[in-house]
Structures are given as C-alpha cells and as structure tokens.
Amino acid sequence: MNETIKNILSHRSIRRFKDEPIPQETIETLVQCAQAASTSSYQQVYSIIGVEEQSLKDKLAELAGDQSYVAQNGYFFVFCLDYHRHQLMAEMTGGNVDATVQSKEGFMVGMIDVALASQNLAVAAESLGLGIVYIGGIRNNLREVSELLRCPDHVVPLFGMAVGFPDASPGLKPRLPQEAVFHKNQYKDDEKALPVLKEFEMKTAEYYKERTGGARDEGWATQMARTMAQPKRTYMKEFIESKGLDKQ
C-alpha cells in the first residue's frame, strides 16, 4: 500500500482546527490540484472561492447552521458550479450556450465537475497532514450564501470545505460493507444485499454504543430512516431554476 492510498484510507472529517492559517503557497497548490481533476469535455464548470475575511467566515458559519469550524479553521473554500464563464465567453465569440447551460444534463455535468475538483483538493490537503471537512450546511441558506459571495446567475455554491491543522483525532467511521455497494457486472438482487445490510445495521449500532457510552445505539438503517424522514432544503428546485440552471 503506497502513501497516497494510506492517506485516502485514513480519511476522517476534522471539525476542530488549530488557530494556525495555511500558507498562501499551500492554498495555491491545493487549488492547482483541484484543477487537475478530470472535467467533462474540457468544460471546467467550477469556481472556487477562498473565503479569508473573518467577517465573511463568521456570517457563513451562521448561515450553515452555527457550525463553529466554518469560522475557525486554517482556510475556508466554497466550491461553486459555474457556467457564468461560459456565458461570458459565448458572448465574446458570438455564440449561444443557453440551452446547454439550462439543461438537466448541463447541471449534472457541473455537479460532477465541481465534486471531482473538490475531492482532489481534499486528498491533496490530507496528504500534507491537514484535516478537512465538507460543509453541506451552506445549502441551508443558499440564496443568502450566494448573495454574500456575490455569485452571479449561473453560479451556485454547492458546498464548503474547512481545511486546517487538525486539533482532534476522531476514529474512522465504518462504511457500508464493500459487498453492499460493489456489484459485479449487474446490480445485485435485494436477497443478496439484505443480509449484508442487516449485518451492517448491527455493526453500526455497536459502533455508536461504544462511542457514546451506551447513550445511542442506532444502526445505519435506523439513522437513515430517521434523518431522511423529512425532506431538507425544499426551496432548492426553485432556487436552482432562479439561477438559470436545470430548467429543462
């Protein structure tokens, strides 16, 4: 097992950082790593906002649901789906890319492009001994986040990422068994999947029981059924369309 794979397999989200900024040179390297990721048809449908001003970070932390590590970290990135650049370039060259930008397929391409770039950045950061945590919480109030960061039409902040020198050392969180998520040739039948998932239910119940000293013993399936019972961020469809995306 090489260093890269060791590094990938030891990922855990870090939610407490030392009060120590990350050098600008490192930030540049991390963004360079993000940009090195594959991108659909060379489109590069992303922008990355490096939020450095403490007042902006504080405001983001509040909008993300009072998550302290959004304000207190070595650096804070916001990853955006971005077709504004393509609109600008189409204008410049006398073209029209509206139908692509507004399409479901275009939206999917953008989502994927952004996430590939961000994960490169995450792996690169962790290889340098930094810790990271993805912040989906910025989608709690995306209209406000988008205004705060002055994102124009066709630009949607998808998630944040806090990066920094770790000041915590949480254990690895167990993942679904490989058998449950990995299928050979074709998607496997439920009869094959169910025993594996039931075993995982017991394993995760045990995991939480140990970590909480018995206060919590909810398995993965029970947790999912509970946390997914109510849909989240139900304004999202309207908001995304208001940005001129994912309309047809």
Which residues 19-78 are close enough to bind a copy of itself by CB under 8 A? 28-29, 31-33, 35-38, 40-44, 46-53, 56
Q: Three-state DSSP class for 46?
A: strand
Q: Does 184 bind a copy of itself (CB under 8 A)?
A: yes
Closest by CA to 149, choosing from 237, 222, 76, 232, is 76
Q: Which stretch binds a copy of itself (CB under 8 A): 15-23, 62-70, 188-196, 209-217?
A: 188-196
Q: Three-state DSSP class for 92?
A: helix
Q: Which stretch binds a copy of itself (CB under 8 A): 63-71, 163-171, 209-217, 233-241?
A: 233-241
Shortest approach of a copy of itself to residue 237 CB, angstroms? 4
Q: Three-state DSSP class for 173?
A: coil
Report 76-95 residues binding a copy of itself (CB under 8 A): 80, 82, 85-86, 88-90, 92-95
Q: Which stretch binds a copy of itself (CB under 8 A): 61-69, 162-170, 209-217, 221-229?
A: 221-229
Among residues 21, 62, 167, 240, the one that binds a copy of itself under rule CB under 8 A: 240
Closest by CA to 158, choosing from 108, 214, 97, is 108
CA distance 84 to 155: 6
Report 162-181 residues binding a copy of itself (CB under 8 A): 173, 175-176, 178, 180-181
Closest by CA to 168, choosing from 122, 138, 134, 132, is 132
Evaluate whether 164 touches 20 at the Cβ level (below 8 Å): yes
* Sequence letter at residue 91: E
CA distance 24 to 191: 52
The token pair at 167 is 């000041």
Comparing CB distances to a copy of itself, the nearer of 168 and 181 is 181
Which 8-state DSSP code applies to residue 121? Answer: H
CA distance 171 to 210: 12
Comparing CB distances to a copy of itself, the nearer of 1 and 215 is 1
Comparing CB distances to a copy of itself, the nearer of 52 and 206 is 52
Shortest approach of a copy of itself to residue 55 CB, angstroms? 10
Among residues 21, 123, 153, 209, the one that binds a copy of itself under rule CB under 8 A: 123
Q: Does 227 bind a copy of itself (CB under 8 A)?
A: yes
Shortest approach of a copy of itself to residue 57 CB, angstroms? 10
Comparing CB distances to a copy of itself, the nearer of 106 and 166 is 106
Q: Which residues pair with 155 in a beta bridge?
A: 82
The token pair at 223 is 């947790």
